[in-house]
Structure 1
Amino acid sequence: MRQSMIDLPSRLLLNLEPWRNAAHWRIAFSGGLDSTVLLHLLASLAKSESLPPLSAVHIHHGLQAAADAWPQHCQAICNALGVPLLIERVTVQPGASLERAARDARYAVFSALTQTNDVLLTGQHRDDQAETLLFRLLRGAGVRGLSAMPAQRPVGQGTLVRPLLDISRAELEAYAQAHQLTWIEDPSNQDRQFSRNYLRHQVMPLLTGRWPQAQASMARSAAHLREAQGLLDELAQIDLAQANTPHDFQWLGLPSLELAPLAALSAARQRNAISHWLEAFTQLPDSDHWSGWTDLCEAASDASPIWRLANGELHRSAGRVWWLSGHWLRTPMIGADWQAPSSTLRLADNGRVMFAGHTPCGSLRIAYRQGGEVMHLADRGHRDLKRLLNERAVPGFVRGRLPLLFRGDELLAVANLPGLDGNGQDGWKLHWQPTGEDLGLS
C-alpha cells in the first residue's frame, strides 16, 4: 500500500519507529500549523501507544509585538493536551540575515536542551522541503546543499528528527480543520522581502499551477540528491583512509593527511575528500574559492604554503597537510626561566614541558628558535639546529615553537626529537605536550 494512502497518525508512527526507545521526545513548538498538528498527533497517539515521555519547547524571539502573545497561546494548547511546555526567551543578534540569526539563537537552545538519547521533533513538511531545494538551487548550492533538509541529524547530544517531511501542508491543514485546531499565523510569513516567503507566495503557486506535482517531485529530487551525497561521503571516507597514514609527529595531536595519496586523485575527488575532512573543523568556502587548495598542492617542494579558512589554516609541510587552529595560530612568548626544573613548566599558548628522569643541573631556561642556534652532539660535534631539524623532517610550523632547553647560551636539548631531546648518559629527556590536554607522548 502506498504510504500516502495510510492515515496520518500511522504514517507519523512509521516515520518515528526508529526512535520509539528514545529517552524523551521534545517537540519544537512555535504554535504554527505544522508544530500544532505534530503536537496534537503525538499527544493523541500517546493515549494508545507506548511512546517516550513527551514535552514541548517554545522559543520566544521577541522580534515583533505580535509574538508577545504566542507563549500564552502555546501554554494553553499544551495545558489542554497535557503536555509539559518549556518557554525559552532568546536574544537575536543583529546582522545581515535576520532569518539566520533567529535560527542560530533557536538552535543554540535546542542543542543545549537535547541530551543523550533525546529526540527533538520539528514540524517541517514536504512543501518546506521543496522550498529549501529551490532556494538553495538559486544560491548555487552543491549536492550537499541540494539534499535540502535531512530527515534526521545530530543536535546537542541527541538527534533532531523531522517526521513530517513526506507530508504536504495541505494534508496538515486538513487534519487541523478536522480536529478544530487553532494555530498562530506569523505576520512575518507574509513579508515577501524574505526570500523564502517570496518563493512560497510568488513562485510556488506559478509552478504548481503548471505542474501540480511540483512540490512532491522536488522533494523526491532532494531525496535522490541526499542519496548521491551519501555515496560521495562513502567515497571520501575511502580516499581519506588512504591518506590517514601514521607519521613521526603523532604526538602533536593535530589532524593531518598525507598529501601524495590525495594528489594522485582527480581534482573533483580531492575536493570531495578534503571537504568531507574539513567539515568537522571549519566553514567551507564556496566552489569559486578553492584556489587556495590548488595553490597549496602545486607550490614548490621547498615552500610552506598556507590556505586560510574561516576557523583556521591548512598548512603543507613534511609531505602532509595539517589543520591548525586556536593557540597554534598564536606566536608563543620568546621564553621563560625554569625556576623549579623538577616540575612542569607551562608555556604561554604552547602547552607545557617537563623532564623525564633526572634534572640537569645549572640555571635553565626554555626558549624558541631565533635562527643560528648550534647544538653539540657527542658523536657528531657541533651542528646547526636548522640542519638537524631538516634531517628529521620537522614540519615548518612546529619549528618556531619547539621548546629548546638552554643552560646559559648552551643548547642542551630540543624537546621530543629523538637523539636531541636529552642526555642518555645523565638519564634525562625533555618532553613537550603541545596543548594543555594530556595527549600522551610517543
Structure 2
Amino acid sequence: MDQPSNDLPSRLLLNLAPWRNALAWRIAFSGGLDSTVLLHLLAHLAKSQSLPALSALHVHHGLQAAADAWPQHCQSVCDALGVSLQVVHVQVQHGASLERAARDARYGAFLEATQAKEVLLTAQHRDDQAETLLFRLLRGAGVRGLSGMPRERVLGRGHLVRPLLDVTRAELETYATDHRLSWIEDPSNQDRQFSRNYLRHQVFPVLTERWPQAVTTMARSAAHLSEAQGLLDELAKIDLASASSVSDFDWLGLPSLELASLAALSAARQRNALSHWLAALTPMPDSDHWSGWEDLRDATGDACPIWRLGQGELHRSCGRIWWLSGCWLGHPCSVVEWTDPSVALNLPDNGVVMFTGQSPDGPLQIRYRQGGEVMRLPERGHRDLKRLLNERGVPAFVRGRLPLVFRAGQLLAVAGVAGLNGNVHGGWNLHWQPPHEDQGLS
C-alpha cells in the first residue's frame, strides 16, 4: 500500500542521511513530474534542515521542438524555489537506439557537471525500477542487469544517488497535486515505439490489473538480485586477488592477471572474475559471445591470441593476460632522431626515453623492431635480438614498442629491458616511460 505523501519528506531525509556531508547536492531536473517533486521536496526541506548547497541541472537534448521551451519553464520553477539552475545543451548521437543515445548524452553531462565530493540526485522511483527489471529481463540480462538501478554509484569524482527508489509514481502524483505543482509533459513519453513507453502504457496496466502488487514485488526481486550481485562481486575479488601476482613488467602500467590462477577456476567463476575486472575498462559481450576468452585461454604453444572487445584488447603472453587500449593498440614505426641525448625525448604515441648517468655521444636514433636486429653484448659477442628478448620473457605485444637506440647503424640499447638497456663500462642506462594515456578506464 502506498504511504501518504506527507511522509515523503522524512523518508527522503532518511534515504539521504549518508550524503548530508557532501559539498553540494545537484538535482537532475528535467522539469517532469518526478524531478519536480524531488526539487520541491529538497527546496522546502532546506528551509528547516541543514543541507548541502542545492542546485539544479537541466539537460537539453534538442530532440524535439517542444523541448526548446523547457529550459525557461525549469528556470521559472527554480526561481520560485530559490534554487540556481544550470542548463546544459548536448548532442545526441543517433544510432540504433535513440533512447540509449539520449541517456548516454544525459549521463555524460551529469558526469561533467559533478565535482569532487558532490552528489547528483536523480528522481527514478519504484515504478521505474520495475520497468527496468522487466526491460532487462526481456533483453536476457544476467544478475547484474536484473538487479536494476543501484541506489548509489560513483559518478566521476562524485556520486549519483537515487533517493526515491522506494517511492511509487502514484505517491509522487499525489504530492504534486497536493502542492499544486506544475510540470512538463514530454510528448515523447506517449510514443510507444520506445520500449520503456510500451512497457509502461501497454504491459504494466495489464500486469497490475491481474497482480496489483506487481511493481512492489518486482522491485523487491531487483533488491534480492542486487544482493546476489554483491556476493558475486565479493567472490570475484577473492579470485582476482589470487590472480594478481607481481609481474616483472608491472612497470608498463598495464592491467594484467596470472592466467593459470584464472584457468584453475570453474568456467562460471572465470567469467565472473573477468567481468568484474573488465567492467571499468570496456563494455562486455553477452553470454553467447565469450568464445574469444575460451580461444585465448586454451591457446597452446607460441600462439599469441587476442580477444577484441569494445574499448580494447585482451592479450595473452608470458603466462598472463594483459589489457591494452588507447595508443597501445597501435604500432609505432617512425625513426626519431635524438640529437641531444642529455635531454629526455618524447616519442610519438610511445612515451618518453631518457638516459641516466653519462649519456653516450650522439647523434642517436630511436627505431623499432623490424626483425633481424643484432646486438653486441660484453662477453657474449653478437646475439640475435629476438633470442635476447625471449630469454628475458618480454611479452610479445611489447616487443614492437620497445625503443631501440642506434648509433651509426649499431644497436646500442633496448629501453626498459634489464641487461639490454645500458652499458656498464660507459656508466649509462636507457629508461623508457611507456605511454600512460587513458587505458580505457571509466
1:410 aligns with 2:410: yes
Deviation digits for residues 206-235 of structure 1, max 9, x if unmatched? 111111110000001111111111111111
What's the counterpart of residue 277 of structure 1? 277
1:222 aligns with 2:238: no
1:79-158 map, 5 Å: 79-158=79-158
Q: CA deviation at 1:93?
A: 2.4
Question: Any stretches of 5+ residues in structure 2 without a counterpart?
Answer: 438-442
What's the counterpart of residue 290 of structure 1? 290
What's the counterpart of residue 308 of structure 2? 308
1:371-382 map, 5 Å: 371-382=371-382
Deviation digits for residues 48-90 of structure 1, max 9, x if unmatched? 2111121212222222222222222222222222222222232
What's the counterpart of residue 435 of structure 1? 435
Q: Distance in 2 between matches of 1:188 and 1:80?
A: 27
Q: Distance in 2 between matches of 1:75 and 1:411?
A: 67
Identity of aligned residues (%): 73
Q: Distance in 2 between matches of 1:115 and 1:340?
A: 43
Q: Secondary structure at the match of 2:133?
A: helix
Q: Aligned pair in 2 of structure 1 residues 77, 395: CA closer, same or farther (>3 Å)?
A: same
Q: Distance in 1 between matches of 2:341 and 2:85?
A: 58
1:17-416 map, 5 Å: 17-361=17-361, 363-416=363-416
TM-score, L = length of structure 1: 0.95
Residue correspondences, number: 436
Q: Is the 8 A contact 2:335 2:366 kept in 1?
A: yes
Q: Distance in 2 between matches of 1:128 and 1:175?
A: 18
Deviation digits for residues 232-277 of structure 1, max 9, x if unmatched? 1111111111111111111111111111101100111111111111
Letter matched to residue 412 of structure 2: L
Q: Distance in 1 between matches of 2:362 and 2:91?
A: 58
Q: Is the 8 A contact 2:340 2:362 kept in 1?
A: no
Q: CA deviation at 1:176?
A: 1.3
TM-score, L = length of structure 2: 0.95
Deviation digits for residues 258-299 of structure 1, max 9, x if unmatched? 111011001111111111111111111111111000000001
Deviation digits for residues 106-146 of structure 1, max 9, x if unmatched? 22221111111211111111000000000000001111111
1:9 aligns with 2:18: no
Q: Distance in 2 between matches of 1:349 and 1:85?
A: 41
Q: Distance in 2 between matches of 1:433 and 1:55?
A: 43
Q: Distance in 2 between matches of 1:386 and 1:150?
A: 51
Q: Aligned pair in 2 of structure 1 residues 91, 370: CA closer, same or farther (>3 Å)?
A: closer
Q: Secondary structure at the match of 1:7?
A: helix
Q: Aligned pair in 2 of structure 1 residues 247, 26: CA closer, same or farther (>3 Å)?
A: same
Letter matched to residue 392 of structure 1: R
Q: Is the 8 A contact 1:147 1:223 kept in 2?
A: yes
Q: CA deviation at 1:426?
A: 1.6
Q: CA deviation at 1:363?
A: 4.2
Q: CA deviation at 1:353?
A: 1.5
Letter matched to residue 307 of structure 1: W
Q: Is the 8 A contact 1:110 1:156 kept in 2?
A: no
Q: Aligned pair in 2 of structure 1 residues 3, 341: CA closer, same or farther (>3 Å)?
A: same
Q: Distance in 2 between matches of 1:304 and 1:164?
A: 50
Q: Aligned pair in 2 of structure 1 residues 346, 62: CA closer, same or farther (>3 Å)?
A: closer
Larger CA deviation: 51-60 vs 143-152: 51-60
Deviation digits for residues 22-55 of structure 1, max 9, x if unmatched? 1111111111111111111112212221111212
What's the counterpart of residue 440 of structure 1? none
Q: Distance in 2 between matches of 1:363 and 1:22?
A: 57
Q: Distance in 2 between matches of 1:159 and 1:380?
A: 59
Q: Secondary structure at the match of 1:201?
A: helix
